[in-house]
Structure formats: structure tokens, C-alpha cells
Chain A
Amino acid sequence: MATASGRGRRAGDAVVAPPAGSGPGASATGPACPVPLPEGERVLLAHGGGGRLTRELVERLFVPAFRNPALSALNDAALVGPVLGRLAVTTDAFVVQPLFFPGGDIGTLAVTGTVNDLAMAGARPLWLTLGFVLEEGLPLADLERVVGSIARTAAAAGVAVIAGDTKVVERGRGDGLFITSAGVGVVAAPRLVAPSEVLPGDAVLVSGPVGQHGIAVLAVREGLAFSRPIVSDCASVVAPVHALLDAGITVHCLRDPTRGGLATVLNEIAVQARCEIAVHERQVPVSDEVAGACEVLGLDPLYVACEGRFVAFVAPGDADRALALLRARRDTAGAARIGTVRAAGGTAGLVTLTTAIGGQRVLDLLSGEQLPRIC
């Protein structure tokens, strides 16, 4: 069997029962500098086998990087909490080629992707667990680099990595490194942030220029050369989301436009909220880099993935304040109001676009991945 045994001792499975009150902030002590692993070495099947090499990986790489009481106990389950409020729970899987791209790597993505999903429920992220599926032969230096990114990104987002697991698959049976995650956060406010809360008249805001991540990854992956690298927008949106909520802005719904981009999440929400969403193409922020790359590749930036943006549906009376607040922050300075929610006529679930020249059209779901085109 290709996989290392899942029985026996699991790498990085961990536990702890920090006393009540040792919430996320308290347990995350920030990134630590791990004792370097031997240089030039590669991941072996034995690193997932539960023996010495597994322990070495856990003790010399994971634990020092993510250091927190819950993890350091190295029990089979981490004990955390209790917390006040409803819990938000999410899970995600990360597969990206290349593992390292301009502006981030699979580790950055694993943390931001998970905490951003929690933030979209109005939650404050507290804890993460991570599962690593390593391909035999992956340079340990690559793994270290990814783990370092995870530690830095988690600390910045105020979350602690409290449990983990590592498995190794035979060379050729993985893609270097896959990461799965679970995230837990707490929702303090009584009001729900969800598609069901969206109302006709709501303003639709986007927190910054769209499509940076997708283009950054595509450019590297498809061997498309850009003389000046386009950088991923991969980042946590926890801080700006809570800045909105803490300021008392009536936020009805939040969604991060990852796979399928802005157009896809607008379609999802229009269907879930049984409304119509009207968007102005001219108002959607797109950077010069992404606009140029999309023209050259024949792609539509509205369908290109972001990893550090969110779409907010805000009560009309709060829209100006929300936009001013976002624009005053450095990480969301490019925010814009892009459209309005309308009561559905016979067209619940429809997203319409006023085009650059003032025409009207449907902004539909894509049928598959966008492929670079010649015609």
C-alpha cells in the first residue's frame, strides 16, 4: 500500500486542555524558529510511519513552529475552550501547483483560506487543525518553508494551530504536498451573517481588486511568462471584516470569491437569497496587471479566483460608512461598491451586469475552468 500506516502514533496529533480563558490569542505565541532539519534531505515514507523520523518531524518542525500549549501536549486530541457564543466550524483542502507562487505558498493559502471562511460567517477565528499529505521525495526544505508560512500567517490572523497529522504517500502518488484543514471560530454577535439575511436594496461591496491570486498562479503553472511577476492577493480578511462588524455596520452576508471568482459567488448568493443582483462592470476594481494578463490570455477577471478579498452585502443606509471604513484601511484601500440587490421578479438567482458601454447582460456561472484561449 502506498500510504504510510495510519495506525500507531500519528505525527503531530496533539492535545491540550488550556484552562478556560486561554483563548486563541493567549495560546498563539507566534512563530518560533525551529531547529533546522538536516539540509538537502527529502521526505521519506518513514516520515509518516510513526517512528523516529515522524517524531523528529513533529518535534523539530511542527511543534516549534506552531508552539502553543494545546499542540505541545502532543495528545491525540486538543482540548480548548470553553468559549462564549456560537461556534463556526469549517473544513478545507488545499491543492495548488506550484506550491510556491508569487505572493504566497500552499501554507499561506491553507491558513488564509480557512480563517477567511470562518470570517465569512462573522466569526472570529480561534483554532486550526492541519493535515499534511506529503509526497515521498519532497525536499524537507520546502516543507519547512511552508510550515514557516503557516506559522507567520496564523499568528497574523490570531489563530493557533492546535492539532495536526502527517501522512506520506509514495513518490508519484501525490503532488508534492496537500494540506487539509479544519477551523473553529466564535460568533459573538446574535445577528446571523448569511445569504438568508440578504435584503433587496442591500449594497454589494468588494474589498479590493479581483483576480490577483488566480492570475499569479496561472501565470506560473501554465508556464506563461510575465516579465514582471503578478503577485497573489492571498491574505487574511479577518481584520477588515471585524472592523466592519465592530463598527456596527449592518452586514447581512459575506462571501470570499475564491474558486470561480466574483461572478460565481454572486450567482451562489443570488440563488441562496432568492434575489436578483445588479452589478456595474465599470465599478468592479481590477488592477492593471490582472486586466492586462486577462486580455492577453482571453480570460474574464470576474471569474478569476481571489484569496484575500471578500464581498459584503450591507444595509443600504450603512453602505457609505462601510465603504469609507474599508477604504481607510491599507489592506482594503481598493474596496468598491459594485452593485445592488433587487427583489427577484421572475428571475430569482439572476445576476445582471451593466456593461462598460451601458448595455445589459447576464453574468452567468461558468461551465468549467477558464482556459487560455486564442480566439
Chain B
Amino acid sequence: MCLGIPGEIVAVREGGAPESPRLAVVRFGGAEREVCLDLVPEARVGDFVIVHVGVAISILAREEADAVFGYLEEIQALSELEAEAGAPGEPPEAP
């Protein structure tokens, strides 16, 4: 569901007709296309945005980009600890 692809804003086209959407050129790998920025009004050139059906729906938080690797470190450290302790992990609490 909801194909959303991250791309980099390389140019913003300000100043169309008042009723026109705010448009940007967004680069996806080597391809570029026009994307509507109306739902991410604070987006600027250089930001990465998630684009769905030609509309940017979210600005990528760079500081969160490595979260998936951080979590991997965390659970690996955890399993090593458990391996050292020789215990299979705490028994689950009854809900």
C-alpha cells in the first residue's frame, strides 16, 4: 500500500498562479520529476521528502536515518549479554 519514495528537493518553483500548488523538482536516483509541496510547507531545497502519487507527504528526519542500525546494535548487545549470562531471556510477564 501507499508507495512512497524518498527523493531530494533540488529546486522549488515559487510564484505560480495563486491557486496553483507549490511545486518542486525532486530527484530520485537519476530521475527527476515535479512534486507538489503543499503538504510540507516548511520543506526547502536539500531536504529529502517521501513522495506519494506526486505529492510530498513527509520530510525525512536525517537524525533518524540511522535508527534502524542503532536498534540492531542494541538487540545484538542484548543477545550477547544474555549469551554470557547463559540465560534465555526473562520470562514474559502475564498480561
Is A in direct contact with B (CB under 8 Å) within the complex? yes
Bound complex: CA of A374 vs CA of B29, how far in Å?
Answer: 19
Grouping DSSP codes into helix (H, G, I), strand (E, B) and loop, the A interface class, with mixed when no group exceeds half, is loop
A292's closest neighbor in chain B, by CB?
B29
A288 to B31 CA separation, bound complex (whole angstroms): 7
Name the CB-closest residue of A to B53.
A374
Residue in contact with A293 in the complex, picked from B1, B28, B34, B52, CB distance below 8 Å: B28
Q: Are A375 and B33 closer than 8 Å at their CB atoms?
A: no
Q: Which residues of B contact A230 (CB under 8 A)?
A: 30-31
Contact of B51 among A287, A296, A375 (CB under 8 A): A296
Q: Which of A62-70, A144-152, A221-229 participates in binding chain B?
A: A221-229
The interface residues of chain B lying within 8 Å CB-to-CB of A224 are 33
User: Provided the pairs A224-B33, A226-B32 are in contact, do residues A295 and B5 lie with their beta carbons within 8 angstroms?
Assistant: yes
Using known A-B contacts A296-B51, A373-B3, A375-B3, determine if residue A289 contacts B34 with beta carbons closer than 8 Å: no
List residues of chain A with CB within 8 A of the CB of B27.
Answer: 292
- Interchain CB contact under 8 A, B33 and A226: yes
Q: How many A-B residue pairs have CB under 8 A?
A: 54
Q: B residues within 8 A CB of A291?
A: 29-30
Whether A298 sits at the interface, judged by CB under 8 Å, is yes
Contact of B57 with A by CB under 8 A? no
In the complex, chain A residues whose CB is within 8 Å of the CB of B2: 374-375
Interface magnitude class on chain A:
10 to 19
Indicate whether A227 sits within 8 Å of B28 (C-beta atoms), given known contacts A295-B5, A374-B3, A375-B1.
Answer: no
Q: Which of B7, B25, B30 contacts A288 (CB 8 A)?
A: B30
C-beta contact mask, A214-237 vs B, less than 8 Å → 1, else 0? Answer: 000000000011111010000000
Question: With A373-B3, A374-B2, A375-B2 in contact, is A293–B31 under 8 Å at CB?
Answer: yes
Known contacts A373-B3, A374-B3, A375-B3; A296/B33 CB under 8 A: yes
Contacts of A290 in B (CB 8 A): 30-31
User: Is the beta-carbon distance between B30 and A296 smaller than 8 angstroms?
Assistant: no
> What mask results when residues 17 to 53 of chain B are scored 1 for a CB within 8 Å of chain A, else 0?
0000000010111111110000000000000000111
Query: A227 — which chain B residues lie within 8 A by C-beta?
Result: 25, 32-34
Question: Is the CB–CB distance between A296 and B34 below 8 Å?
Answer: no
Interface of B is mostly: strand
> Whole-angstrom distance between the alpha carbons of A198 and B24 in the complex?
50
Which chain A residue has the least Cβ–Cβ distance from B28?
A: A292
List B41-72 residues whose CB lies under 8 Å from chain A.
51-53
Q: Which residues of A contact B30 (CB under 8 A)?
A: 228, 230, 287-292
Chain B min CB distance to A375 (Å): 4
Q: How far, in whole Å, are A289 and B3 apart by their CA atoms in the complex?
A: 18
Chain A residues, CB < 8 A from B28: 292-293, 295-296
Asked whether, in the complex, the Cβ of A225 is within 8 Å of the Cβ of B33, the reply is yes
Separation of A295 and B50 alpha carbons in the complex (Å) = 12
Is the pair A296, B1 in contact by a Cβ cutoff of 8 Å? Answer: no
B residues less than 8 Å from A373 (CB atoms) = 3
How many angstroms from the CA of A227 to the CA of B7 in the assembled complex? Answer: 13
Residue of A nearest to B2 (CB): A375
A214 to B2, CA, bound (A): 24
Shortest C-beta distance, B93 to chain A (Å), equals: 34
A296: shortest Cβ distance to chain B, in Å? 5
Nearest A residue (CB) for B25: A227
In the bound assembly, the distance between CA atoms of A287 and B53 in angstroms comes to 23
Interface residues of A (CB under 8 A from B): 224-228, 230, 287-293, 295-296, 298, 373-375
8 contacts between A and B (CB under 8 A): A227-B32, A230-B30, A289-B29, A289-B31, A292-B27, A292-B29, A296-B5, A375-B2
Beyond contacts A226-B31, A226-B32, A227-B32: 17 other A-B pairs, Cβ-Cβ < 8 A, are A225-B34, A228-B30, A228-B31, A230-B30, A290-B30, A291-B29, A292-B29, A292-B30, A292-B31, A293-B28, A293-B31, A295-B28, A295-B29, A296-B5, A296-B28, A296-B51, A375-B3
Q: Report, nearest first, the 8 A-B pairs whose CB atoms are least far apart.
A: A292-B29, A288-B30, A289-B30, A292-B31, A292-B28, A227-B32, A293-B31, A288-B29
